[in-house]
Structure 1
Amino acid sequence: MSTANSLDTSYDTATGGRPPLALIAGPTASGKSDCAVALAQELGRRGRRAVIVNADSSQVYADLTILSARPTEEEMDGIEHRLFGAWDGAEACSAADWARTARATIADIHADGAVPILVGGTGLYIRTLLDGIAPVPAIDATVRDEVRAMPVEKAYAALQTEDPERAARLAPADTARISRALEVVRATGRPLAYWQQHTTGGIGKSVTLYPAILLPERQALYARCDLRFARMVERGALAEVEALLARGLDPDLPVMRAIGVPELAGVVRGTCPLDEAMARGAQATRNYAKRQYTWLRHQPPEEWPRVEFESFEIGNITAILYRHFGLT
Structure 2
Amino acid sequence: MSGAQTGPGDPRAASAAVWGVVGATGTGKTALSLELAEALARTGRPAEILNADAMQLYRGMNIGTAKLPPHERRGIAHHLFESLDVTEDAAVAWYQPTAREVIADIHARGADAILVGGSGLYVSSVIFDFQFPPHDEALRAQLEAELTAQGPGVLFARLRAADPVTAARIDPKNGRRVVRALEVLAQGSTTHGASLPEAPVLWHEHTRLVGVAVPRDELVPRLDARVEAMWQDGILDEVTKLREQGLEQGVTARRAIGYAQALAQLQGELTQAEAIAQTQTLTRRYARRQVSWFKRYSQLQWVAPGYPVQQLLDDASYA
Q: TM-score range, shorter-chain basis?
A: 0.7 to 0.9
Aligned to 2:229: 231
1:206 and 1:239, CA in 2 relative to 1: closer, same or farther beyond 3 A?
same
1:89 and 1:319, CA in 2 relative to 1: closer, same or farther beyond 3 A?
same
Aligned to 1:282: 280
Aligned to 1:215: 213
Work out which of the two has the higher radius of gyration on C-alpha atoms and give 1 or 2.
1
8 Å contact kept, 1:147–1:183: no
- The alignment partner of 1:292 has SS state of helix
8 Å contact kept, 1:65–1:85: no
Query: Which deviates the most, 21-30 or 171-180?
Result: 171-180
Letter in 1 for 2:184: V
**Distance in 1 between residues matched to 2:172 and 2:32, nearest whole Å:** 38
Q: Deviations over 1:159-202 (max 9, x none)?
A: 56654654565677775545433332332x333259x999xxx9
User: How far is 1:130 from its partner?
Assistant: 2.4
Aligned to 1:293: 291
Q: 1:149 aligns with which of 130, 146, 151?
A: 146
Aligned to 2:238: 240
State the TM-score, normalizing by the size of structure 2.
Answer: 0.81
- How do 1:123-202 and structure 2 match up within 5 A? 123-139=120-136, 141-142=138-139, 145=142, 149=146, 159=159, 162-163=162-163, 165-166=165-166, 176-187=176-187, 189-192=188-191
Q: 2:309 aligns with which of 318, 322, 328?
A: 318
Q: Deviations over 1:120-161 (max 9, x none)?
A: 011111111123443423326258626973876775665566
Aligned to 1:6: none
1:17 and 1:179, CA in 2 relative to 1: closer, same or farther beyond 3 A?
same
**Distance in 2 between residues matched to 1:249 and 1:39, nearest whole Å:** 35
8 Å contact kept, 1:60–1:83: yes
- Runs of at least 5 residues in structure 1 that lack an aligned partner in the other structure: 1-10
Letter in 1 for 2:128: D
User: How far is 1:318 from its partner?
Assistant: 3.4
User: How far is 1:321 from its partner?
Assistant: 3.6
8 Å contact kept, 1:181–1:191: no
Aligned to 1:53: 50
1:319 and 1:92, CA in 2 relative to 1: closer, same or farther beyond 3 A?
same
- The alignment partner of 1:22 has SS state of strand
State the TM-score, normalizing by the size of structure 1.
Answer: 0.79
- Runs of at least 5 residues in structure 2 that lack an aligned partner in the other structure: 1-7
1:206 and 1:148, CA in 2 relative to 1: closer, same or farther beyond 3 A?
same
Aligned to 2:100: 103
- The alignment partner of 2:213 has SS state of strand
1:171 and 1:119, CA in 2 relative to 1: closer, same or farther beyond 3 A?
closer
User: How far is 1:72 from its partner?
Assistant: 1.9
Aligned to 2:4: none
Q: 1:305 aligns with which of 296, 301, 313?
A: 301
8 Å contact kept, 1:166–1:193: yes
Q: 2:115 aligns with which of 106, 114, 118?
A: 118
**Distance in 2 between residues matched to 1:274 and 1:170, nearest whole Å:** 29
1:214 and 1:238, CA in 2 relative to 1: closer, same or farther beyond 3 A?
same
8 Å contact kept, 1:212–1:324: no
User: How far is 1:322 from its partner?
Assistant: 4.0
**Distance in 2 between residues matched to 1:232 and 1:295, nearest whole Å:** 26
User: How far is 1:283 from its partner?
Assistant: 2.4
- How do 1:24-103 and structure 2 match up within 5 A? 24-103=21-100
**Distance in 2 between residues matched to 1:271 and 1:178, nearest whole Å:** 26
User: How far is 1:13 from its partner?
Assistant: 6.2
1:94 and 1:168, CA in 2 relative to 1: closer, same or farther beyond 3 A?
closer
How many residues in Structure 1 have an aligned counterpart in Structure 2? 306
RMSD: 3.5
Percent of residue pairs bearing the same amino acid type: 31
- The alignment partner of 2:286 has SS state of helix
8 Å contact kept, 1:13–1:19: no
Q: Deviations over 1:270-291 (max 9, x none)?
A: 4533333222222222222121
- The alignment partner of 1:77 has SS state of coil
1:326 and 1:225, CA in 2 relative to 1: closer, same or farther beyond 3 A?
farther
